Amino acid sequence: MNIYHLGNIKNNKAILQKLGVQGGGVSIISKKMDLHIFQLKNIKTPALNILKQDVLSIGGELAVPSGVITCAKDRYDALLIVNSKQIEILSKKELAQPFGLKKLAKELANYSKDISYPTKIMGIINANEDSFYSESRFIAQNAIDKCKEMIKDGANIIDIGGVSTKPNADIVSIDEELKRIKPICDIIKSQKLYEKTIFSIDSFNPKVIEYALKSGFKIINDIMGAKDKRVIELAIKYGAKLSIMHIQGTPQTMQDNPYYDDVVVEVSQYFKDKISICEDMGLSIDDIIIDVGIGFGKRLEDNIALIQNLKEFKKFGCEILIGASRKSMIDKITPTKVEDRLSGTLAIHLKALDNGANIIRCHDVLEHYRAIKIYQEV
């Protein structure tokens, strides 16, 4: 007899099917193979005592402070440790319980959604002269040549922007931004390059966005999180996807002492509110992409926390975009010049895929294509 530790299994269903498990058993057992740890904050003490018993009854665990059983305080934090199958059971079980557990049950139900999206590489084209990475700057025909190279290298999406959004970036007029991206849009439209890959417009200005959408672009990448509701209206009008990013402040102010009590909780609430607005206006959840905004009003510890906890954002059912390409967080971990940050970029992006991201926004398409192919194989 032999026993082997299988380590980190990426595809539960595939290994069960290979073993010969049949029918519904694959779905049932695969859910028991995923472990989830939830932090519960500011929960009423009676609720925790009820929840503790219910969780233990289904084989899970709820870690609580010692004062919970005696109700020493009105509210406590706790850690819920369950697998995917137990989440399903618990989300139904707690619907009948008082003290706010009904609301908790509805929240848990969101985490039981089995939604996955294919991995996509989004290449970066900056149609300006001041983006922080000089090798990403292109104008007119040079930008088109780079687009064709990225398509050949494996880009599923190409994101084109006319304005730098680095910290303290210069403010550019809408007319100047349009002047920068217009020649690129015109060639993409005339050569029908939109038939070869998906083009994304990196802008929060409706005038610029609409010009790109008329040119065949299919994604709006709005770093301001659709603060201007006309952006949502344009996504609906042209049948485009909308990528909503979290940012604290503006590119000119975002790194002026950013601070969060709990960055994961606050960014999650931000997306909850934004998605609600989009859906109320008529934009389908399938057409919303969320981006936690690495480096946009974040400290190093905030960026790391968001990458480590990307699974939190899967509850929304949206595609998740991550963009840490050559950013300063790499330099803060291990001092590195911008031109030498490819290895750090790949490390962060592969970890992000591990944790739930599916769209990787990057400067180096070919290197990411190769790295992701190997990552997926192993």
Q: What is the pTM of this model?
A: 0.86
Of 353, 325, 309, 271, residue with least CA distance to 125: 325
pLDDT digits (tens, 9 = 90+) for 165-179: 878 777 889 999 999
| Average pLDDT score over residue span 90-99 | 93
Residue 38 has pLDDT above 50, yes or no: yes
Quote the pLDDT of residue 21.
76
Quote the pLDDT of residue 5.
47
pLDDT digits (tens, 9 = 90+) for 290-349: 999 999 999 999 999 999 999 999 999 999 999 999 999 999 999 999 999 999 999 999
Residue 7 has pLDDT above 60, yes or no: no
Give the residue, 256 or 49, on which the prediction is more confident: 49
Quote the pLDDT of residue 251.
85
Quote the pLDDT of residue 3.
54
| Average pLDDT score over residue span 71-99 | 92
Give the residue, 111 or 11, on which the prediction is more confident: 111
Three-state SS annotation for the chain: CCCCCCCCCCCHHHHHHHHCCCCHHHHHHHHCCCEEEEEEEEEEHHHHHHHHHHHHHCCCEEECCHHHCCCCCCEEEEEEEEEHHHHHHHHHHHHHCCCCHHHHHHHHHHHCCCCCCCCEEEEEEECCCCCCCHHHECCHHHHHHHHHHHHHHCCCEEEEECCCCCCCCCCCCHHHHHHHHHHHHHHHHHCCHHHCCEEEEECCCHHHHHHHHHCCCCEEEECCCCCCHHHHHHHHHHCCEEEEECCCCCCCCCCCCCCCCCHHHHHHHHHHHHHHHHHHHCCCHHHEEEECCCCCCCCHHHHHHHHHCHHHHHHHCCEEEECCCCCHHHHHHCCCCHHHCHHHHHHHHHHHHHCCCCEEEECCHHHHHHHHHHHHHC
Q: Is 75 a catalytic residue?
A: no
The percent of residues above 70 in pLDDT, for the chain, comes to: 93
- At the topology level of CATH, where does 120-377 sit? TIM Barrel (3.20.20)
Give the residue, 157 or 85, on which the prediction is more confident: 157
Catalytic residue among 52, 120, 327, 341: 327
The yes/no answer on whether domain 38-111 falls in CATH 2.40.160 is no
Q: Is 327 a catalytic residue?
A: yes
Quote the pLDDT of residue 165.
81
pLDDT digits (tens, 9 = 90+) for 217-262: 999 999 999 999 999 999 999 999 999 999 998 888 888 888 999 9
Q: Where are the domains of the chain?
A: 1-33, 38-111, 120-377
Quote the pLDDT of residue 74.
94
Classify the C-alpha dihedral 151-155-156-160 as positive or negative: negative
pLDDT digits (tens, 9 = 90+) for 108-153: 888 877 678 999 999 999 887 766 666 666 676 788 999 999 999 9
| Average pLDDT score over residue span 190-211 | 97
